[in-house]
Structure 1
Amino acid sequence: MSVVFLAGASRGVGREIAKQLIAKGHQVIALLRSKDAEKALADMGITVRFGDALDVDAVKTAVGAQAVDVVISTVGGVPSMEASDLPDYLGNKNLIDAAVVAKAKRFILISSIGSGDSAIALPPNVLETLGPVLKEKAQAEDYLVNSGLDYTVIRPGGLVSEAATDQEILTADVSVSGSIPRAGVARLAVACMESGRAQNQILSAIDLSMQRTEGDIDTFDL
């Protein structure tokens, strides 16, 4: 069993990761900005701590309140947000810094296809729309890689709400594109956490049934 600090558990991929961590018997501590999801998470057996990822002191206090083995972050913004409000870099930077101080063994960052060298996987119009967010995600990835922490960066394709299909895959091929259910991303994130093979890897994630890239994909096996 690992003690996992999870940022972004209130909804989406983060909530799916929380469910799967609990189902596998891990202890989960969730960082929330508001009380909206508090009861639902507490009912799952999750310890809830409050704080905004952009608040350095709040993050340091929340992460350092007890020993944690792994920090997982799904923190991210949307293109409609003002650049100064985007948490993709600063929020994750705060979490990474806190993980270093807390001597966490591992940091798993949920990023996005289109970040960094995977920009080649997306068409120009999509890159233009997502540009500010992807720039921040790339900064967060670089900061994590240079933090000294053992890390895994997962770059999912387009997120969909369908049930996981068991066809979700990881690949080091930065040209791959496609979509993936949120539950599928969560399954891969937990699998990466439990596998030594995923340490210090940056991997794209799609569902093979939702693949947009032509041809076979060289998958990364955990």
Structure 2
Amino acid sequence: MPTTAAPMPFAGPRLRPPCNLTSARPGPRRAGLAVVSAAAGGSPPTVLVTGAGGRTGQIVYKKLKERTDQFVGRGLVRTEESKAKIGGAADVFVGDIRDPASIAPAIDGIDALIILTSAVPKMKPGFDPSKGGRPEFYFDEGSYPEQVDWIGQKNQIDAAKSIGVKQIVLVGSMGGTDVNHPLNKIGNANILVWKRKAEQYLADSGLPYTIIRAGGLQDKDGGVRELIVGKDDEILKTETKTIARADVAEVCLQALLFEEARFKAFDLASKPEGEGVPTTDFRTLFSQVNSRF
């Protein structure tokens, strides 16, 4: 059976405190990955999104394929069924992130990696909402957060580093500063603890990275709200702690375009539609972030 005990040494005390990017990385700013390729007259960078069969991953993959002047898009999914669901193109690879060898073909030759893989809990049968109480959840054997959100993400980071990838964008979740967060109790699997461990591994890898800790994900149109960035789960104490999946997907791509997004980690949410001004200046958005972790 999979190990489900919490990796307590990683549950807070050993995480690095945020620090100012400017002081940590002196020197001139550089343009983002895609901007550099275009300015040099080269071909667009090849970008792989893993978890491309998921609800947010599908949006990222679609955006990559629509912007052929900026990116050469690839996807990685877990099953042939997921590949068919997003069109079945030859640039969608099937692999298991828990097995480094199976994801090597997808990662070979890429310039950037967007990680959107995540363990998915299932509801135990028999729950009757009319009787009150809360549903119970479980994870399939071998698909616990430890295997998917830690080992699977570590495998992706290691594979990308081995080929000299130029940037990794990792999408996580807010709530990781609190080991007692309710999400950690789902299936008694400590999902945020394992996600946080993978984030720390990426931050320590030496690779350029952007860690996006998204708020509550909503299936709504993107591009119509003002986005908010924060750190250390401060946004969770406010009323604006949700975000459209489409906006998260857009921020993933924009993070590849601006140096201001590199070597940074931040929480991401949005104001309600109709409040504030929809975000279009992503350089300024990323410039508001000064935390490396």
Aligned residue runs from structure 1 range 45-194, under 5 A: 47-64=91-108, 67-79=109-121, 80-81=138-139, 84-86=142-144, 87-115=148-176, 117=177, 119=178, 124-126=181-183, 128-129=185-186, 132-174=190-232, 175-177=234-236, 178-194=241-257
Amino acid at match of 1:132: N
Which structure has more relative contact order (CA 8 Å, sep 6+)? It is 2
In the alignment, structure 1 residue 221 sits paired with structure 2 residue 285: yes
**Structure ID, larger Rg:** 2
More helix by percentage: 1
Q: Which of these residues, 72, 88, 100, is aligned with residue 27 of structure 1?
A: 72
Could you say if the C-alpha distance between residues 23 and 69 of structure 1 is closer, same or farther in structure 2, counting changes exceeding 3 Å? same
Following superposition, which runs of at least 4 residues in structure 1 exceed 3 angstroms of deviation? Answer: 39-43, 123-131
Secondary structure of the residue aligned to 1:209 is coil
Q: Do 1:28 and 1:46's aligned partners in 2 also have CA atoms closer than 8 Å? A: no
C-alpha root-mean-square deviation of aligned residues, in Å? 2.4
Secondary structure of the residue aligned to 2:80 is coil
What are the Cα deviations for residues 44-71 of structure 1, in whole angstroms up to 9, with x where unaligned? x66011111111211234312xx21101
5+ unaligned residues in a row in structure 2: which ranges?
Answer: 1-43, 122-137, 274-281, 287-293
Could you say if the C-alpha distance between residues 134 and 124 of structure 1 is closer, same or farther in structure 2, counting changes exceeding 3 Å? closer
Q: Do 2:83 and 2:94's aligned partners in 1 also have CA atoms closer than 8 Å? A: no
Q: Which residue of 1 aligns with 2:7?
A: none
Normalised to the residue count of structure 2, the TM-score between the two structures is 0.64
Report the Cα offset of residue 92 of structure 1: 0.5
Identity, in percent, stands at 25
Aligned residues: 207
Q: Distance in 2 between matches of 1:168 and 1:23?
A: 23
5+ unaligned residues in a row in structure 1: which ranges?
Answer: 211-218
Normalised to the residue count of structure 1, the TM-score between the two structures is 0.83
Secondary structure of the residue aligned to 2:64 is helix
Q: Distance in 1 between matches of 2:216 and 2:198?
A: 19
